Amino acid sequence: MRNKIQIKICVGTTCYVMGASDILTIQDELTPSISDRVEVLGIPCFDLCKNSANGKAPFVSVNDIIIDSASLDKVKEYILELTQKL
Amino acid sequence: MKYFIEVDYAQNYKYNQKICGDIFLLSKSENKNRIVFTLSDGLGSGVKANVLANLTATMGQKFVLNNLDVKKSANIIMKTLPVCSERKISYSTFSICDISSEGLVKIIEYDNPEYMFFKNDKLCKVSKKTIPLERKPFGKTEKLYYSEIKMDFGDRLIVFSDGVSQSGMGNASTPLGWRRDHIIKFITDEIKNNSNISASNLCNKITSHANSNDIMEPKDDITSAVVYVRKPRKLMIATGPPIDKAKDKLLKCKVKNFKGKKIISGGTTANILSREYNKKIKINLSNNNMDIPPSSTMEGVDLITEGMLTLSKVANFLEKKIAYKNLPENAAKSFIKHLINSDHVYFLVGTKINEAHQDPNIPFDIGIRRTIIKRIATALENIYLKETYLEYI
């Protein structure tokens, strides 16, 4: 049984206003075969937005790889690529 | 100040009336050491009754809040305000109550049903002094009743207008109205059922029951008010990281040692405490109201929310006095539920500034934490009569 792909979405203040609220619907946006392989979690804060060297909010991690300036499309694309490799 | 004194009232207008002839005014003295309330029932109904009751109640409140003795205030009211030439009674009744933070209560009553004093579920006898007042033009002597009581934990004082005691009059089950002895039984049973019943719940139950005695068409304005003395229910709101990391342990200690309910508001703050407590945070994604971020849970605290957006919503809802049942289902509603059910609210505010909040790319102004907390504290004090304490870390 494969481990589920873990998506962590930061729901802190900056990430939320910069687009995390849209990304929270991601499980509904994936096809059922992919959606079943994915687990979506919220986290209160990645502590990344305070340092511009980390990139821009919103921040999402997929299997602990951080994606900055995340968007629903960007994260979906990343997951599709990942599922093709795994 | 060891007691928390909760005072609340509930009203139902006379059927088909758009304005109430009963007036209940409630306020705290300037130095916050006293609570004063006045219940007035205007003669008749509608606008005239409302104006007369308002006049009477306002005078009562102003005099007593400005340290005039309740007896002297009553005297002035009786001599100043008009009297119905036909019925030879004042155009408005009054019960004025002056409660100190130590639980010492002075009450003067004129023409309202007499108040009830309960120690837990037992009604207590109170000795009252009768103050006669002659109404020379009418050859009549009015009676005012003055009494003093000392309230302690678990004690309740209940006042109501005759719309309560006379509710149901003329109906088969209550031909002579609800009547005092049945009201006493009702209240006793409610307290036996729930020994911690709040002033708010109890006065709503009394008014509701009177309303149903009148089969939802009150024959008179119905008002009941309850004073309840209890140990304060405490709530701590920890929001914002401390000014420097060295104080993270201090934040943890203050939160851990606090005896009461705890809300953590802010992702960074929650992370600090999660690390210090060594407990995981679980975010509740099931109820996703898109307006503000979802709430979370962690062992050892009662609620975790995001910071600034949630706090702004809470401030707005409190200031606009939006009824709890009309709030949207989100983290701010959970936050407000805790606020409403607390008496003393302690704000532990971290003063580290998050520069990311000032990013010009953010589409609106997130605001400054201290300012929003001050708004919440002010609303809680002035509108909801809570006591608030602010500490910066």
Predicted confidence (pLDDT) per residue in B194-243, tens digit = 999 999 889 999 999 999 999 999 999 999 999 999 999 999 999 999 99
Please tell me which residue of chain A has the smallest CA distance to B284. Answer: A42
Q: How far is B288 from chain A (nearest CA, A)?
A: 9
Chain B residues whose beta carbon lies within 8 Å of the beta carbon of residue A12: 267-268, 293, 306-307
Give strand pairing partners of B227.
Answer: B7, B157
**Distance (Å, rounded) from C-alpha B54 to C-alpha B38?**
10
Two tokens, residue B81 = 């305000």
Is residue B287 a contact partner of residue B329, using CB atoms and an 8 Å limit? yes
Which pLDDT band, with edges at 50, 70 and 90, does B376 fall under?
Answer: very high
Residue B1 predicted with pLDDT over 60:
no
The SS3 call for residue B284 is coil
Exposure of B272 by Cβ count < 10 A (0-12 exposed, 13-18 middle, 19+ buried)?
buried
Hey, what amino acid is at B247?
A: K
Amino acid B48: pLDDT:
87
Report the mean per-residue pLDDT for chain A: 91
Q: By percentage, how much of chain B surpasses pLDDT 70?
A: 98
Amino acid B128: pLDDT:
97
Amino acid B332: pLDDT:
96
For residue B90, the 8-state DSSP code is B
**Distance (Å, rounded) from C-alpha B42 to C-alpha B94?**
9
Predicted confidence (pLDDT) per residue in B320-340, tens digit = 988 888 899 999 999 999 998
Which of B270, B309, B357 faces A44 most closely, judged by CB atoms?
B270
Which of A42, A44, A49 faces B356 most closely, judged by CB atoms?
A49
Is residue A26 a contact partner of residue A59, using CB atoms and an 8 Å limit? no
Two tokens, residue B52 = 């007369």
The SS3 call for residue A6 is strand
Average pLDDT for residues B256-265, to the nearest whole number?
A: 97
Which pLDDT band, with edges at 50, 70 and 90, does B91 fall under?
Answer: confident
Q: Interface of chain A against chain B, CB under 8 Å? A: 10-14, 16-18, 20-21, 24-25, 40-45, 47, 49-50, 56-57
Is residue B338 a contact partner of residue B302, using CB atoms and an 8 Å limit? yes
Residue B161 predicted with pLDDT over 60:
yes
Report the mean per-residue pLDDT for chain B: 92
Which pLDDT band, with edges at 50, 70 and 90, does B366 fall under?
Answer: confident
Amino acid B291: pLDDT:
87
Determine whether the interchain pair B270/A45 forms a contact, defined as Cβ–Cβ distance below 8 Å: yes
Single out the residue of A49, A41, A83, A39 nearest to residue A69, CA to CA.
Answer: A49
Q: Report the half-sphere exposure of B205 (CA within 13 A, side-chain side).
A: 17
Which pLDDT band, with edges at 50, 70 and 90, does B360 fall under?
Answer: confident
**Distance (Å, rounded) from C-alpha B387 to C-alpha B393?**
20
Residue B248 predicted with pLDDT over 90:
yes
Residue B114 predicted with pLDDT over 60:
yes
The residue with greater pLDDT, B26 or B137, is: B26
Which pLDDT band, with edges at 50, 70 and 90, does B12 fall under?
Answer: very high
Which pLDDT band, with edges at 50, 70 and 90, does B289 fall under?
Answer: low
Determine whether the interchain pair A47/B271 forms a contact, defined as Cβ–Cβ distance below 8 Å: yes
For chain A, report the end-to-end CA distance as a whole number of angstroms: 12
Residue B9 predicted with pLDDT over 60:
yes
Average pLDDT for residues A25-43, to the nearest whole number?
A: 90
Residue A1 predicted with pLDDT over 60:
no
Average pLDDT for residues B256-273, to the nearest whole number?
A: 96
B268 in reach of chain A (CB within 8 A): yes
Q: By percentage, how much of chain B surpasses pLDDT 90?
A: 74
Q: What is the pTM of this model?
A: 0.76
Which pLDDT band, with edges at 50, 70 and 90, does B75 fall under?
Answer: confident
Alpha helices by DSSP H, listed for B81-213, are: 162-165, 180-193, 199-213
Is residue B307 a contact partner of residue A13, using CB atoms and an 8 Å limit? yes
How many other C-beta atoms lie within 10 A of the C-beta of residue B79? 9
B359 in reach of chain A (CB within 8 A): yes
* Residue whose structure tokens are 């309840």: B228
Two tokens, residue B314 = 């809470």
Average pLDDT for residues B245-261, to the nearest whole number?
A: 95
Chain B residues whose beta carbon lies within 8 Å of the beta carbon of residue A24: 285, 288
- Contacts made by residues B188-195, CB under 8 angstroms, sequence distance 24+: B188/B118, B188/B121, B188/B122, B188/B123, B191/B118, B191/B120, B191/B121, B191/B156, B192/B121, B195/B120, B195/B121, B195/B154
Amino acid B228: pLDDT:
96
Chain A residues whose beta carbon lies within 8 Å of the beta carbon of residue B363: 17
Is residue B42 a contact partner of residue B57, using CB atoms and an 8 Å limit? no
Distances in whole angstroms, Cα of residue B214 to Cα of each of B16, B170, B188, B207: 13, 9, 21, 11
Can you say how many angstroms the Cα of residue B216 is from the centroid of all Cα atoms in its chain? 25
Determine whether the interchain pair B296/A42 forms a contact, defined as Cβ–Cβ distance below 8 Å: yes
Which of B271, B304, B362 faces A17 most closely, judged by CB atoms?
B362
Chain A residues whose beta carbon lies within 8 Å of the beta carbon of residue B266: 13, 44-45
Residue B382 predicted with pLDDT over 90:
no
Chain A residues whose beta carbon lies within 8 Å of the beta carbon of residue B304: 44
